[in-house]
């Protein structure tokens, strides 16, 4: 696979070409995803749940993230590799720089942080210091205790307006990707249209530029429950490589997510 950079994603957005991405946590799966030309991999702090068996992402440490980023990079040197900054590792811009450096030195091409306008200074400081940023909006799992559960975000008009405003402010601050999780598809479409940078969705409908799934959900091996918006592609194909290829193909052709896997 040729090396994928943010420039490819920007071009694909301009061309209206959809792309898939998936979480990865180890070298073997990373290699398997790269063998299928998966352009973007995310070392998600979802590893707290799917690898460590925790109930949320809060216990995940920067050391955990650095270790798994290094593993994924070894298996997939050519995908655009995003790595999550874990809970409380970016509470201040300076702390964000120190911790982002660890992820970048472990092989990440971009870091992902969760939150809205309060992150503007952090995004500025990171990007000015050569750390590309993906801004995660909507259902930001590190805020589960503020939300009182894993709830759809942006249903109310004021919340929706705020999310659009945050997305524009974060783009202005230098964010190179926005990721939207669990938001109504109409709002996700509006934000995708308003932004020049690529928008990746999970539970955000079919109109975002890219899609991401947690690999354990995509392969139907999640220990816990399967989110409504996710799909078990292994059940459909019976083979891991074919499952990955089918997921990518369905995203690229606008077949996934369909209505059944969309939040109205
Ligand atoms: O941690 C993760 O896997 C994520 C995805 C749900 C987008 O942030």
- Express each pLDDT in 134-185 by its tens digit: 999 999 999 999 999 999 999 999 999 999 999 999 999 999 999 999 999 9
Residues 206, 180 contacting (CB under 8 angstroms): no
Residue 42 CA, ligand 1 centroid: distance in Å: 7
CA distance 154 to 39: 29
User: Does 181 qualify as catalytic in the annotation?
Assistant: yes
- Beta-carbon count within 10 A of 85 CB: 28
pLDDT the model gives residue 20? 98
Average pLDDT across the chain, whole number: 97
**Domain ranges for the chain:** 6-261
Which of 15, 156, 157, 181 is flagged as catalytic? 181
Ligand 1 site, residue 250, Cβ cutoff 6 A: no
pLDDT the model gives residue 222? 82
Whether the pLDDT of residue 54 is over 90: the answer is yes
Q: Is the pTM of this model over 0.75?
A: yes
Name the pLDDT band for 224 (thresholds 50, 70, 90). Answer: low
Residue 212 forms beta bridges with which residues?
21
Ligand 1 site, residue 45, Cβ cutoff 6 A: yes
Closest of 109, 129, 130 to residue 21, by C-alpha = 109
Residue 236 CA, ligand 1 centroid: distance in Å: 23
- Express each pLDDT in 171-206 by its tens digit: 999 999 999 999 999 999 999 999 999 999 999 999
Using the structure block, give the residue that is written with the tokens 């259902």. 139
Helix, coil or strand: residue 136:
strand
CA distance 161 to 152: 15
Sign of the Cα pseudo-torsion (68, 70, 75, 79, in order): positive
Of all residues in the chain, what percent are helix, strand and coil, respectively (each to 5)? 45, 15, 40
CATH class of the domain at 6-261: alpha beta
| Percent of the chain residues topping a pLDDT of 70 | 99
Q: Output the CA–CA distances (angstroms, integers) from residue 70 to 2, 26, 104, 212, 247, in the order listed.
A: 20, 8, 10, 20, 25
- Beta-carbon count within 10 A of 172 CB: 11
Ligand 1 site, residue 108, Cβ cutoff 6 A: no
Residue 3 CA, ligand 1 centroid: distance in Å: 23
């Amino acid at each position: 696979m040729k090396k994928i950079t943010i420039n490819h994603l920007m071009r694909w957005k301009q061309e209206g070409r959809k792309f898939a991405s998936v979480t990865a946590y180890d070298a073997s799966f990373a290699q398997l995803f790269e063998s299928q030309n998966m352009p973007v991999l995310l070392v998600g702090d979802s590893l707290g749940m799917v690898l460590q068996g925790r109930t949320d992402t809060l216990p995940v440490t920067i050391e955990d993230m650095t270790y798994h980023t290094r593993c994924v990079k070894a298996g997939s040197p050519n995908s655009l590799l995003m790595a999550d900054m874990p809970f409380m590792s970016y509470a201040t811009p300076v702390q964000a720089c120190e911790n982002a450096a660890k992820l970048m030195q472990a092989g990440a091409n971009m870091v992902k942080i969760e939150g809205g306008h309060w992150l503007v200074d952090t995004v500025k400081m990171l990007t000015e210091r050569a750390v590309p940023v993906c801004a995660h909006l909507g259902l930001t799992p590190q805020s589960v205790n503020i939300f009182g559960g894993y709830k759809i975000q942006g249903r109310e008009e004021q919340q929706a307006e705020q999310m659009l405003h945050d997305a524009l402010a974060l783009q202005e601050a230098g964010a190179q990707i926005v990721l939207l999780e669990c938001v109504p598809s109409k709002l996700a479409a509006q934000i995708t249209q308003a932004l020049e940078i690529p928008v990746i969705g999970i539970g955000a409908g079919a109109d975002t530029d890219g899609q991401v799934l947690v690999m354990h959900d995509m392969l139907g091996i999640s220990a816990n429950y399967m989110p409504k918006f996710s799909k078990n592609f292994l059940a459909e194909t019976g083979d891991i490589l074919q499952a990955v290829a089918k997921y990518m193909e369905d995203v690229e052709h606008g077949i996934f997510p369909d209505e059944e896997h969309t939040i109205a």
